[in-house]
Structure 1
Amino acid sequence: MQLTSQYSAANDLIALEEKYGAHNYHPLDVVIESAQGAWVTDVEGRRYLDFLAAYSAVNQGHCHPAILRAMMEQAGKVALTSRAFRNTQLPLLLRDLHDLTGFDMALPMNSGAEAVETALKAARKWGEKVKGIAKDRAEIIVGANNFHGRTISIVGFSTEPQYRDGFGPFSAGFRNVPFGDVEALRNAITPNTCAFLVEPIQGEAGIILPPAGYLREVASICRENNVLLILDEIQSGLGRTGKLFAYMHDQIAPDVLIIGKALSGGFYPVSAVLSSREVLGVFQPGDHGSTFGGNPLACAVARAALRVVVDEDLPTRSAELGAHALAKLKQIRSPHVVDVRGLGLWLAIELNVPARPFCEQIRDRGVLCKETHEKVIRIAPPLTISPGDLDWGLEKITQVIEQI
């Protein structure tokens, strides 16, 4: 196919994607060709400030040079061995995760959804083998309006009708309780409950923060009932909310922690489940696995991504810039704004009208953000963004919302 110009290249590429790709996404029509830091450039040479950060996968910014170097260096040695053999990078990543978080053990996987499935399997097996729940009777409680991924078991316990529509029948053994309601959790626990899986802040639902002290009370309830507290910090973790992990705001520690996205700085799918020896120790050879999980390329990338988070103190940057951004957004004056909320550089503007037209006009002014749940504009720039760039992007968003 001959592309006659950059402009036709964009249209042709969009047409190819629409013709040959499944329509399971509704992207803004920007064809990105390159990116660096907080900025991306499309095939027509226009630059945009990225206020989504690939759903928090690029907390460290696009194409961070230190992570890129680690990836290139390892790719020239060996990329994949499978877990049939050992490699030089996996033990180092496991040590780094332990040193950073304090958890006894980690099990690296690839996607976030795969890590969630891993945590569910570990919790159920722990419930049966350690807690003593009868065979095939272990139950897991989840929060309403959750988003933990797209697998059959995960969408089966979603309360979003679209996520479930046409995909049944679903796995049994899950129970929903209202997010943020500690009494509902307490009342839902039975002798067969092995775990409570929850996001500290619900991202896909629209950056929904629970009441103050919620996680602290949840941790206490789980401890009293010998129930594992599993926190999904795939989006909220690694600095996004102004702490290394969102649970640290409540000064608690989960029994199981799920991380992903920024664990690779956007270069490669890397996720992990972290827990105690008692929980992850239930897995025996043959119980669980992944051809690519824990591969040397992924581990080298993850190690470099973690070093960037620590060395550049991204949680502190997120806390400071996030507080500034939240204050700025709260100054927006528009009859369409219902609420402005967030923590760290993870913010939401809830509207009383569809958000997509706003996102399209914001794009036309040089800033990329995306709607979620129809009426929420989600804002989550790379944590490396400069204060000046952040203010510039916030001003563009303010102009659009106040003028529509």
Structure 2
Amino acid sequence: MNREVDEQAQYQELNENENILPKNYSNLRSQSTLRGQKQQNAYSRLTETSSVWHLVIFSAAIVTIVLAEQLYREPLFNLTLRVVPDVQKDISDFALYYFKFMTLFGYGHFAVGVFVLFFTFSTREKAFYLLLVHTVAGILNQELKIIYHNPRPYIMSPDVQALACSKSFGNPSGHSSLSACYFVTLFLVIYHDTPFKSHREQKHFSYYLALIGVIFMVINVPMSRVVLGVHGLNQILYGMTYGLWLALFMFQYVRPAVYRHVKKLLEFNNPSYYRTFGVMVEPANIDHMNYAFKCLGIYAGIVIFSTLNYYIVRSNFEYPQEWLDAIILKCNEGKPLEIKGIFADSAFVKTGLVSIIFGAYLGMLYDSFYMGGTPSTINDTSSLKGILRLLIGGLVIIPFTLPYLLIGSSLSVGLLYFIKSALPFFMVGFIMFSWLKSVYIVAEVINTNT
């Protein structure tokens, strides 16, 4: 009875500007519920996935990409060994600086920077999706490197210089897959989250300028890796093609589900969402514990796969001495190598970074259950407050990244995986999507008027 009285008072508050007081509250409540369902259905239609035939095409495409790599791997790698020495011999200082600059955009730092900007100035669902794409692309690249365990050009040819030193396996190129995946994803999120028609009418010039920029980066970042001697043509082609496939597939099939789920956790279960949209429906029924167990189950499965993948390769593949000698000569200035910092060991430790997305998801569950959720309007503030959020977030989060930056390779691989990668970045994800909001509230740098 008290609940009905409270709900009627809430409804009267929603309509006080229109001076409407329903005579039959139960009927009007049903109408309000229907309007709320229509709001959710409208949002679902905006992110509706394509037909089954499109899924068949995507499946055929990835199979073709993987099988084709087997055919062009050796010819293109040998072509690289023939061509690159001449290119490096004739390269100008300006061209060398240019390619060293371009290669910076293929590291994870750029993707992390973009994620931080979206987290600070945009919505949680977009920030989480960008983090998910980067995490999937990153761990997939490291797992494939271990599976293929192919060398880099400078390792295989005395004539190829290592103008940028990378001591892990070479196939596929992480710079190529990340640049193709992330730049395309960023373009799609900015320009295709809403119907393209509106962008064609309002931002015609910026749309095509951004498209040209994406194409430029997707080509130039991988080519820089070839010129610098750290990847073969086959390795960048493989990285580019599966990176592009991953961006399109996730945008088409994963993004809609991610957006709906994050909104369900953080907004559909939050009374402020209904005040914002002027409707009153029953909050979403969320089984937080069930979601948490599913999340941890998936995480455990990935950790087990990564461990087995690493163990199988390390047990059955011995690093050729000529590979080690090439790294010592060209990248280590003649100093002895620390085995745990190269090849499969290096890749395995990096797979621990996948923990950030699971920490972020559990952080959202915590926010939804204990902190009332986070509406989309949380970052609707002045630019100054946005900059303050950026600075405060950096002060809180950066200390948790220091183990990855400062811990060397003297510990066992298992300990490095846990204390250098997995644990610190799990905490980074969890804190960003949960407790950091409390710091923002105290500092009064977010919009709490929802």
Larger of the two Rg values belongs to structure: 2
Q: Which has the higher strand share?
A: 1
Sort the TM-score into its range (normalised by shorter chain): under 0.3
Q: Which has the higher helix share?
A: 2
Using the size of structure 1 for normalisation, the TM-score is: 0.26
Using the size of structure 2 for normalisation, the TM-score is: 0.24
